[in-house]
Every structure is written in C-alpha cells, then in structure tokens.
Structure 1
Amino acid sequence: MKIEEAHYIGYITKTKGLKGEVQVYFEYDTPEALDLDVLFLDLNGKLVPFFVSAYRLQHNNTGNFFFDDVDHIDKAQALVKKRVYLPEEKMPEQDEEDFTYEDLEGFIVIDELHGELGEITEVNEYPQQFVATVSNKGRDILFPLNEDMIVEIDEENGVLRMRLPEGLLDIYLNP
C-alpha cells in the first residue's frame, strides 16, 4: 500500500513497560470511531502493517497498543516517532457537512495578493490553530488556517482562496 492510499491518523510517542507496548498519539479527532485491528507504520517511506493484539484508548487522544511480534521493549523502541496510517477504505464515512481543515490537503492555494502559491501538502493541528504547509519552488510555506484569512473554499475545484497577512509570505519568498 502506498502512502497516497492511506490516511494519517497519528504517531507513536513512546514505549510503555518492557513487553513491547507503545503509546500512539492520535491526530484524528475521534479515534474511537476507527477500526484499529491493523495499523500501518511509515518505515523508511513504506507502509508496513502491524497487527494489533490488544489496545486501550485513553481520554487524551492517546492509546496504548500491543502488536503481534513486538514482544520486547527493544522491538517497540524502533517504532517510536513513526507515523501511523489507516487505509482510506477503513476510514469512517464522513457526512458532507463535516468538512474539516484536514480535508484541504491537496487543495491549490491562491492568495489575493501573490496569486497561486501551490498545493497544500500537509495540514497540522496545533493547540491554538491549524497550520497548512504549501510547497512553493522547493520551499515549504506555512500559514495558519482561520476564518479571518480564508476568502473562499471551492470544494468542487479543489481551490482555497486566502487573504494572508501582509509580510507573511515575504519571510518565505524573499529570504
């Protein structure tokens, strides 16, 4: 399976105990709605399946997992900081009204002043806001996604029109 065919849901934060248990931090809003029998980890750019033998979800967007064949802390330690994915077909159905900032990944960003900036390659959630990453001429441009700056979201054509604050793009475009 390729990364393009999967949905990023979180990453492994640390090991727990000596028997191979790991903690997963979910960047997906409702991990309890996910089918977590197999998780795919990004190991050197390839998605490798890890079959879940047991897990417990916590209230702080984390869960503790045991994987088949990971029965010692040394094996689990190698998985720390690896990104976790699920195949697209295993993701819960989303109502059309449930459009989120994460759904903007792949959209083309057009700023009112600077024109087309490029495609959103990543959307990350931080405590105070969502931040989009756009690849532009070999550089990553990061900017917050908030209602004050979004002019229009054209879902049909995959276009996000923005009014970015003056000077923000100068940091990236004029080093």
Structure 2
Amino acid sequence: MKKEDCFYLGKIVKKYSFKGEVLAKLDTDEPEVYENLDAIFLDLRNNLIPFFIESSQLHKSELLRIKFEEVDTEADADAIMKTDLYLPLNLLPKLEGNKFYFHEVIGFTIEDVNFGKVGTIKAINDSTAQALFEIDRDGLEILIPMNDEFIVKVDRNNKTIIVETPDGLIDLYLE
C-alpha cells in the first residue's frame, strides 16, 4: 500500500497499559467512525505496514485506545510510539454538497462569481490559521482562504469550485 492511496488518520501519542495498548489522537471530527477497525497502516521507516487490531474503543472522546495483535508488552508499544496512522482512501466516508476532502479537490478549477476563471488548485495549505487554496494561474500563485462564506458551490462532475471572494482579493495577485 502506498501513502498516496491512503489518508492520514492520526498518530499514536502514548502508551495506555503494560499490555501493549496505545492511545492514538485521530485527525477527525467524527472519531466514532473509526472505533471498530480491523486493521490500520502504521508508517514505520517510511513504509506502510498493516497492523491488525484486537480491540479498540474511544477514550475521553478524542483519543482511540487500541490493542494491536502481537503488540503485547510495553517494549512492543514503545517500538510504535509517535507513529502516524493511515487508512485506504476507499474507507473515507463520502462527502456531499459543499463539503470536501483536501486531497479530493486538487486539480479542480476555481471560478469566482465576479472575476471568472481564476485557475487550478495545485495544493491546500493548512499550515496557517485558516486553510488556503493554492491556485496556479498560468504560473502565478493565487491564495484564496477556504472560507465557507466564500464557497458558493462544489461541482464534482465538472471538477470546479465556484467561489465569491471579496472585491479586490484576486486582483492583489495580478498587479
């Protein structure tokens, strides 16, 4: 399994018991969706390795307590500490309407209601306080905040996102 065929689910953050159980911080608004998984991929030395889950349950709402098969001691748990967790993309719940996964809209065209075609989404920058569409307009980079109030429509069939940005925002990049 390759990383590009998977999505980041979270990270193992600490040991839970002396029997090899660990706690994972999940990167999701709905951790309960992932409570009864059979297996999960761990990123060990840049290789995704499948680990089978003996049992798992939510712990204090945002953490998932996991007991992996063949991880039976504190030393076993130490070996997988701080490891990133991944699942295949086909396990992502389908989103509808104006909701989307970041990876899903790469390559979509952005059109502004007033400006017209802006360009193509080449990446999503979520390292800032507010996530940004990174748009390529013939070699020029344009950044548009991923603000729900700006997004008019996500058209999956035509791979287009219609936005309505404040006057002058796009022009800032064109001067």
TM range, smaller chain: 0.5 to 0.7
Residues in 2 aligned to 1:40 and 1:5: alpha-carbon distance in whole angstroms: 11
Matches for 1:1-175 after TM superposition, within 5 Å: 1-34=1-34, 35-92=36-93, 94=94, 97=96, 100-102=99-101, 105-107=104-106, 108=108, 110=110, 112=112, 115-116=118-119, 118-121=121-124, 131-132=131-132, 134=134, 144-162=145-163
Residues in 2 aligned to 1:141 and 1:76: alpha-carbon distance in whole angstroms: 44
Q: Is the 8 A contact 1:105 1:121 kept in 2?
A: no
1:22 Cα offset (Å): 1.3
Distance 1:135 1:84, change over 3 A: farther
1:167 Cα offset (Å): 7.2
Q: Is the 8 A contact 1:105 1:123 kept in 2?
A: no
Q: Is the 8 A contact 1:101 1:123 kept in 2?
A: no
Q: Tell me whether 96-105 or 71-80 shows the greater mean CA deviation.
A: 96-105
Mark the runs of 5 or more structure 1 residues left unpaired by the alignment: none
Tell me, what secondary structure is at the counterpart of 1:13?
Answer: strand
Computing the radius of gyration over CA atoms, which structure comes out larger, 1 or 2?
2
Residues in 2 aligned to 1:143 and 1:21: alpha-carbon distance in whole angstroms: 42
**Structure 2: which amino acid aligns with 1:115?**
V
Instruction: Give the alignment's TM-score, normalised by structure 1.
Output: 0.66
Q: What value does the CA root-mean-square deviation take over the aligned residues? A: 4.1
Distance 1:47 1:36, change over 3 A: same
Tell me, what secondary structure is at the counterpart of 1:51?
Answer: strand
1:50 Cα offset (Å): 0.8
Q: How many pairs align?
A: 166
Residues in 2 aligned to 1:26 and 1:141: alpha-carbon distance in whole angstroms: 31
Distance 1:109 1:73, change over 3 A: farther
Distance 1:59 1:104, change over 3 A: same
Distance 1:167 1:13, change over 3 A: farther
1:2 Cα offset (Å): 1.6
1:161 Cα offset (Å): 4.0
